[in-house]
Amino acid sequence: MFYLTRMLGRPVVDAAGEVIGEISDVAIATGEVFPRVTSLAFLGPTKTPFMLSWRKYVSTIDDEQVVLNAERPDLRFSYLQPDEVLLARDLLNKQIVDTQGMKVVRVNDLKVSESRGQLRLLGAEVGVRGILRGLHPSIERVAAAATRLLGRELPENLIAWNYMDLLDRDLSHVRLSVTHKRLHELHPADVADVLEQLTPTQRARVFEHLDNAQAALTVAELEDEFQADVIDDLGSQRASDILEMMDPDDAADIIGDLPYDKAEALLHLMGVQEASAVRSLLGYKEKTAGGIMTPEVTTVTDDMTVQQVIDYLRTGAAEHESIYYIYVVEGDRLEGVISLRDLVISEPSTPVADLVDRDVITVGPDDDQEDVAETMSKYDLLALPVVDETGKLVGIVTVDDALEVMEEESAEDLALATGSAREYGPLASMGWWLVRRSAWVAIWALTVSGYVTLASWARGVAARTFDFLIPVPPLGHLSIAGLELVAYAIVLLPVVLRATEEVSSRSLAELIGGVDADERPGVMRVLLRESLLGSGLGLATGLLAFGYAALVRGGTEGPVPLALGLATAAAVLVAVLASAGLGEAAWRRSAAGKRVSGTGLPIVAMLIGTVLYLAFTYWAGILSLPVG
């Protein structure tokens, strides 16, 4: 086995033993399952690049050098062929698509193997082992030895060539592999997952290799925030062609997110019928049945026969988004519906009038999209007709649109329950994540800072230093007595913070879970449950505080260890009960339809716990420590 990073820089020696250069790259022929190394690129003594046929001139290769089978004067240099790719130039440290794992990764090294006198590429190393090897082989060996001492192995993360696709270089003219699973052969949903991981430039490059039909299906699978950007980055003619091939409801959603001038330009470039369908949908409000429906509806009349309807489906309705149901109309008015199943199992001569179900469940164009989705779920419908006030059939809502609505509404409900809607966005996401996950650290740090400042004031340091700016009166000997015990408490404060955070997090989980009032335990039962928990936790933390104080002071003599232990136990119990009370208040507020902040709830609980703990220990210090 050989690795490219180890091969680069090795000396190239001719048959006479003369060093004629060092390896700079190797080329592979891409039209094979495991590509064969076809050419050797090396730099001569004056850094002049040369290329040789691997099969014709390379005799042996080992960990030290590459030996040729001819002397320097007899070498005949070659050039890179159209179906060849240079590994270092075109793959190493480049981004590729792992078409098996559906993700974008970076190539840290490439692994090749000797087989029957030939060197073949096995795949790309995309893990940490390749990074370490690229720094230096000894670093990789040390890291591997260290992980073995811990009873584990440093894994090799290898992606086989037939699951690689290239991004950073236009290789559209290269036949990558006879069995290569290219991006355009993947399901559009998988391609969309990959595109969402790329930069706009890389996305545009991928779209160059997709035909319009594949591009249309892929854009429809992208998340909403990417769709308009992708279309906006394409040329107007290409963008209009893709939109024209999309379902009208999907195209309308994208055009509605584009700037007005761009949207109008694309609509003018689209076909008249397609543009008219999109414009009709743009007239409906967002989050309504009209806003999510498609106007492509399969309609027949009741004077037709089953055979006539089937013939029509094969021709006029072949491109419609959904033909699970065939709607019977009289003029524009909806009269009934026929299921595709009933149509298929009926005799060809059967009149449509004998099959039609005139008891049709419908919705109006202005009905809320959530109500529409719930109706489809309740009645197990694959499509739901949308009719206006005159009974005219204007479109249908399909099951895939209903599923998207349910997912969207669920996310909105979660944001409303937790107050996290305003916490989303590129700028806020990382900051709010840190706040939500590490708020206790920030509160602890602020408490430590405040204590240091307060203690300095109590001892007169700050008063002497800053008296010319802000007169600070001395706090007196009682403050010093209390602050002495608070100093011990601050070290243990994270325990109290995490306890209050845990209780508030459980309350938040109940909000997110949407527990009904009938199923929710009463207030007294909640307080009893939390008091038992708080008592157990308080006892454990109290013992911890007692042991910590005894360790620091060198024994259990004196009032400090006992005072700190009792104050800690009492503070944890009261803080847990206070957090439970906050959770109950938050649940009642959420049940009334008001917003509850998923970040604010635990932070307020931790602030209350902090104040309670410091207050308890401060007064315990005053009561237990001697004055002075």
**pLDDT for the residue numbered 68:** 92
Strand boundaries in 211-323, DSSP class E: 299-300
pTM of the model: 0.48
User: For residues 143 and 150, what is the distance between their CA atoms, to the nearest angstrom?
Assistant: 11
pLDDT digits (tens, 9 = 90+) for 500-541: 777 766 665 555 555 555 555 666 777 777 778 778 878 888
Q: Is the pLDDT of residue 7 over 50?
A: yes
Residues 124, 231 share a domain: no
**pLDDT for the residue numbered 347:** 92
User: For residues 120 and 407, what is the distance between their CA atoms, to the nearest angstrom?
Assistant: 47
**pLDDT for the residue numbered 507:** 63
Q: Is 428 within the bounds of a domain? A: no
Q: Which of 231, 256, 283 is the last residue of a domain?
A: 283
User: For residues 109 and 125, what is the distance between their CA atoms, to the nearest angstrom?
Assistant: 5
**pLDDT for the residue numbered 462:** 40
Q: Which of 418, 448, 463 is the last residue of a domain?
A: 418
Q: Which of 111-125, 237-251, 425-439 has the lowest mean pLDDT?
A: 425-439
Domain of 575, CATH number, reads: 1.10.357.20
Residues 569, 486 share a domain: yes
Residues 547, 470 share a domain: yes
Q: Is 53 within the bounds of a domain? A: yes
Report, as an integer, the average pLDDT of 31-45: 83
**pLDDT for the residue numbered 5:** 87
Contact call for residues 122 and 216 (beta carbons, < 8 A): no
Residues 312, 279 share a domain: no
Domain of 363, CATH number, reads: 3.10.580.10
* Residue predicted with more confidence, 444 or 359: 359
Q: Token pair for residue 226?
A: 């990417």
Residues 444, 411 share a domain: no
Contact call for residues 442 and 329 (beta carbons, < 8 A): no
Residues 228, 102 share a domain: no
Give how many domains the chain has, as a whole number. Answer: 4
Question: Degrees (nearest 5) of the Cα angle 40, 42, 47?
Answer: 165
Q: Is 174 within the bounds of a domain? A: no
Q: What percentage of residues in the chain have a pLDDT greater than 70?
A: 74
Q: Token pair for residue 502?
A: 């845990």
Residues 200, 117 share a domain: no
Residues 190, 158 share a domain: no
Q: What are phi and psi of 85, to 5 degrees?
A: -130, 135
Name the range with the highest mean pLDDT among 280-294, 312-326, 530-544.
Answer: 280-294
Domain of 34, CATH number, reads: 2.30.30.240
Look at residues 353, 335, 250, 245 and name the one whose alpha carbon lies nearest to residue 299: 335
Q: How confident is the model at residue 60 (pLDDT cuts 50, 70, 90)?
A: confident
CA distances for 334 relative to 298, 350, 359, angstroms = 12, 21, 11
Q: Is 133 within the bounds of a domain? A: yes
Q: List, in order, residues 6 or more apart from 18 with CB less than 8 Å away.
A: 71, 72
* Residue predicted with more confidence, 605 or 217: 217
Mean of all residue pLDDT scores within the chain: 77
User: For residues 512 and 606, what is the distance between their CA atoms, to the nearest angstrom?
Assistant: 20
Report, as an integer, the average pLDDT of 254-265: 87
CA atoms in the 13 A half-sphere facing the CB of 485:
32
Q: Is 81 within the bounds of a domain? A: yes
**Spacing of C-alpha 58 from chain mean position:** 47
Residues 251, 322 share a domain: no
**pLDDT for the residue numbered 595:** 63
Residues 367, 402 share a domain: yes
Q: Is 294 within the bounds of a domain? A: no
**pLDDT for the residue numbered 474:** 44
Q: Which of 57-71, 179-193, 425-439 has the lowest mean pLDDT?
A: 425-439
**pLDDT for the residue numbered 524:** 75
Q: Where are the alpha helices (DSSP H) in 75-197?
A: 87-90, 128-135, 137-149, 188-195
Residue with tokens 């847990």: 576
Residues 618, 475 share a domain: yes
Q: Which of 283, 314, 343 is the last residue of a domain?
A: 283
Q: Is 138 within the bounds of a domain? A: yes
User: For residues 110 and 122, what is the distance between their CA atoms, to the nearest angstrom?
Assistant: 8
Q: Is the pLDDT of residue 336 over 90?
A: yes
User: For residues 477 and 482, what is the distance between their CA atoms, to the nearest angstrom?
Assistant: 9
Look at residues 31, 30, 53, 50 and name the one whose alpha carbon lies nearest to residue 41: 50
Q: Is 562 within the bounds of a domain? A: yes
Q: Which of 24-28, 505-509, 572-576 has the lowest mean pLDDT?
A: 505-509
* Residue predicted with more confidence, 363 or 36: 363
> Which residue range(s) make up the domain with 410?
299-418
Report, as an integer, the average pLDDT of 429-445: 53
**pLDDT for the residue numbered 473:** 38
Residues 466, 388 share a domain: no
Domain of 234, CATH number, reads: 1.25.60.10
Q: List, in order, residues 6 or more apart from 524 with CB less than 8 Å away.
A: none
Our CA dihedral for 622, 624, 625, 628, rounded to 10 degrees, sits at 50
